[in-house]
Structure 1
Amino acid sequence: MVKILILANNDVGLYKFRKELIKELVKENEVHISLPNGDFIPKLKELGCKFIDTPISRRGTNPITDLKLLINYRRIIKNIKPDLVLTYTIKPNVYGGLACRMSDVPCIANITGLGTAVENGGILQKVTLFLYKVSLKKAKCVFFQNKENEEFIIKKKIINGNHRIIPGSGVNLDYYSLLDYPSDETINFLFIARVMKEKGIDQYLEAADYIKAKYPNTVFHILGFCEGAYEDKLKEMQAKDIIKYHGMQSDVRGFHKISSCTIHPTYYPEGMSNVLLESAASGRPVITTDRAGCREIVDDEINGYVVEPKNSQDLIEKIEKFLELDHESKKQMGLAGRKKVEKEFDRNLVVNAYVEEAEKALR
């Protein structure tokens, strides 16, 4: 039986966005997963995976910690002797890719976004790109989630082998089914993301403050883990009835039911926004920024609106434009989003791409 090893940095993302692929892989292969322990590990085991607890400092830059991760990956590969390794996110891509190259094991990497280290330039960008170049040199395939990331990596001559674009993680169109569009009696907006600066929370809060005062029938919801810097701000705005903060939610579909529109004003370097894919799949219009990983999901004025990153005024104007639409136009905008994801972002497209590249790599 073929052994496949998956290297990832967290259990939530692996289960939510890769479970359909894992279900396909475990049919005829022995699948091992290496990542930190978490609440979704039992669910991944139920799928048929063999779990290896592997600590990862996701955002840390300590070279000693990263060296330990590389050594850990080498030991895991030596023990399991996989026929193929799949890697996701920066550290598994870099240190997993290095371990595979050192162990002469075929590897397929997925660039799920270039991250702030590359985005911000400087010495950290140079180091990260160098590590990518060394680690991905022998990769059997490198998947990109958007054209901009692919062009950047090619331009920098980081890879020269097989590569292709996939539609992000895709979206499960059965799990995120088309929902009835709500009435206009109350207009509910959703912000679904980690509450942090780069996700555009400042712009969302500024827009909420202005719009709520002008349009009393609007409600601005926030779903996601809140970073310490924003705790007091959210409490203050909730007390004034400007926003409703719901904390981290494991299942957002109930919120999509009442939602009129999802607002995702991020300027974080996304691969492909799952928030937008899931919202559009549910038949909800979306307002998001003109950024790679976001703009691909929105046909401006067809299934939503595109705004300039970090521009609160532009966001306010697009929200007002949306509010001025009649109910049927809002509903049609949501239906256009559903059609778009059915055509371009079905998760089965991603699963098929992986199966195809895995078969090539194992020949």
Structure 2
Amino acid sequence: MKKILILANNDIGLYNFRKELPQRLLRLGYDVTIALPYGEKVEKFKDMGCNFIETPMNRRGMNVIQELKLLIQYIKIIKKIKPDLVLTYTIKPNIYGGIACRSLNQKVIHTVTGLGSVFIRDLWIKKVLIKLNKFSFKNACHIFFLNKDNQDFYKNIKIIANQQQISVVPGSGVNLKEFQFNEYPNNEKIKFTFIARIIKDKGIEEFLESAKNIKDKHLNVEFDVVGAIDEDIYINKLKEYEKLKVINYLGHRSDIQAIMKKSSCIVLPSYGEGRGTVLQEGAAIGRPLITCDTYGCKDNVDDGYNGYLCKSKDYKSLQNSIEKFINLSFEEKKEMGLNSRIKAEKEFDRDIVIKSYIDKINKITKML
């Protein structure tokens, strides 16, 4: 039986966005082991038939001792499992999993899920990460990117070589059976919904500023903010805007589909995404989208067809897009929602993504 080892940083993300891959691998007869920090979805992976190895990590910190411990853990796990192929997701598993695989001459497929805040901002650590990525990616069997901009960025800074096997998939895709089309809501008020972690790079500043200005002019609109606060500066700021009745802050929620169904339009003015899964999910449900013309976001919207694109880090541009949407008739808004679903079925179906992975995995392991 061929063995697959999956390295990731979070059980929830792996389960919500990629569970179909281990399911398909198990059905094909692979032995699948998942190594990541323990969390609420781990038991679901076990019930599925996956083996599990708890692998603690600090997802955001850069403590040298902790990073070395993670690298050593990966080396030990690979030596113990002796997998035929390793799959890695997100920055730390890509880097340290890649270094471990290279040192052990282990076959590996990396997935670049996004650039992350470190690459968006010009931080000193960016130079260190570029060097680590270059080393860890050098001998990879294949590298998947979620958008072409990220692929081009990695090529331009020479993290990957021109001769390396690379391809672009449409994010993690959407399970269209789980995210079914829902009729466009005939709300009394036009509801704009921001769904993301509450950090600057997701465009929360621009969303709040636009909401404040629009609320002064339009009485028939609502602005909902959904997501956990990951930067403390926004704890009081969201309270302040809620007190002023600019927004409704709904906090971290697990019932995202229910929230999307009540929404008139999903808004994500992010500075950059891997592929913007929340936008793809909103499209699948049949909601118009407003997002930025930046990497990982712009691929989800055909401007004027299923939503609008605005400039990144520009609240006036975002405000203009929101006001354009407000001025549409109900039928025009409804048509945009239908167009979102059509685009989701053509481009965002998770089966497209899973097939790409299975084809590469089978080829590398020579199982089929």
TM-score, length basis structure 1: 0.97
Q: Give the partner amino acid of 1:145.
A: L
The correspondence for 1:238, drawn from 234, 239, 242, is 242
SS of 1:26's equivalent? helix
Judge conservation of contact 1:118–1:129 (CA < 8 Å) in 2. no
Shift of 1:66: 1.0
Q: Residue 353 of structure 2 corresponds to which residue in structure 1?
A: 350
Q: Give the partner amino acid of 1:49.
A: C
Q: Residue 144 of structure 2 corresponds to which residue in structure 1?
A: 143
Alignment of 1:168-183 (within 5 A): 168-183=171-186
**Seq. identity, %:** 49
SS of 1:222's equivalent? strand
Q: Give the partner amino acid of 1:224.
A: G
Alignment of 1:144-159 (within 5 A): 144-159=145-160
Q: Give the partner amino acid of 2:204.
A: I
1:3-61 CA distances to partner (integer Å, 9 max, x unpaired)?
A: 11100000110000111111101111111111111111112222211111111111112
**4+ residue stretches of structure 1 with deviation over 6 A?**
none
The correspondence for 2:218, drawn from 198, 215, 220, is 215
Q: Give the partner amino acid of 1:43.
A: K
Task: Note if 1:54 corresponds to 2:55.
Answer: yes
The gaps in structure 1 that reach 5 residues or longer are none
Root-mean-square deviation (Å): 1.2
Aligned residues between the structures: 362
Shift of 1:236: 2.1
Q: Residue 229 of structure 1 corresponds to which residue in structure 2?
A: 233
Q: Residue 270 of structure 2 corresponds to which residue in structure 1?
A: 266
Task: Return 322-331 or 148-157, whichever deviates more.
Answer: 148-157
Task: Note if 1:162 corresponds to 2:165.
Answer: yes
Q: Give the partner amino acid of 2:16.
A: K
Q: Residue 119 of structure 2 corresponds to which residue in structure 1?
A: 118
* In 1, Cα distance between equivalents of 2:253 and 2:84: 37
Alignment of 1:96-107 (within 5 A): 96-107=97-108
1:262-306 CA distances to partner (integer Å, 9 max, x unpaired)?
A: 110111x31110011001111100111111000011101111111
Judge conservation of contact 2:114–2:274 (CA < 8 Å) in 1. yes
Judge conservation of contact 2:117–2:201 (CA < 8 Å) in 1. no
Judge conservation of contact 1:287–1:318 (CA < 8 Å) in 2. yes
* In 1, Cα distance between equivalents of 2:169 and 2:316: 33
Shift of 1:100: 1.0
Judge conservation of contact 1:220–1:242 (CA < 8 Å) in 2. yes
Q: Give the partner amino acid of 1:134.
A: F
* In 1, Cα distance between equivalents of 2:128 and 2:140: 19
Q: Residue 12 of structure 1 corresponds to which residue in structure 2?
A: 12
Task: Note if 1:23 corresponds to 2:23.
Answer: yes
* In 1, Cα distance between equivalents of 2:114 and 2:341: 24
SS of 2:248's equivalent? strand
SS of 1:253's equivalent? helix
Q: Residue 260 of structure 2 corresponds to which residue in structure 1?
A: 256
Shift of 1:157: 2.5
Shift of 1:122: 5.3
Alignment of 1:62-141 (within 5 A): 62-121=63-122, 123-141=124-142
SS of 1:176's equivalent? coil
Shift of 1:184: 4.4
Q: Give the partner amino acid of 1:250.
A: S
Shift of 1:120: 2.8
Shift of 1:237: 1.9
* In 1, Cα distance between equivalents of 2:48 and 2:335: 38
Alpha-carbon distance change, 243 to 149 in structure 1, aligned in 2, over 3 angstroms: same
SS of 2:251's equivalent? coil
Q: Give the partner amino acid of 2:312.
A: P
Judge conservation of contact 1:170–1:347 (CA < 8 Å) in 2. yes
Alpha-carbon distance change, 123 to 195 in structure 1, aligned in 2, over 3 angstroms: closer
Q: Give the partner amino acid of 2:148.
A: K
Task: Return 256-265 or 58-67, whichever deviates more.
Answer: 58-67
Alpha-carbon distance change, 213 to 122 in structure 1, aligned in 2, over 3 angstroms: closer
Judge conservation of contact 1:184–1:327 (CA < 8 Å) in 2. no
1:57-98 CA distances to partner (integer Å, 9 max, x unpaired)?
A: 111122221111110000011111111110000110010011
Q: Residue 336 of structure 2 corresponds to which residue in structure 1?
A: 333
Judge conservation of contact 1:119–1:125 (CA < 8 Å) in 2. no
TM-score, length basis structure 2: 0.96
Q: Give the partner amino acid of 2:129.
A: T
Q: Give the partner amino acid of 1:360.
A: K
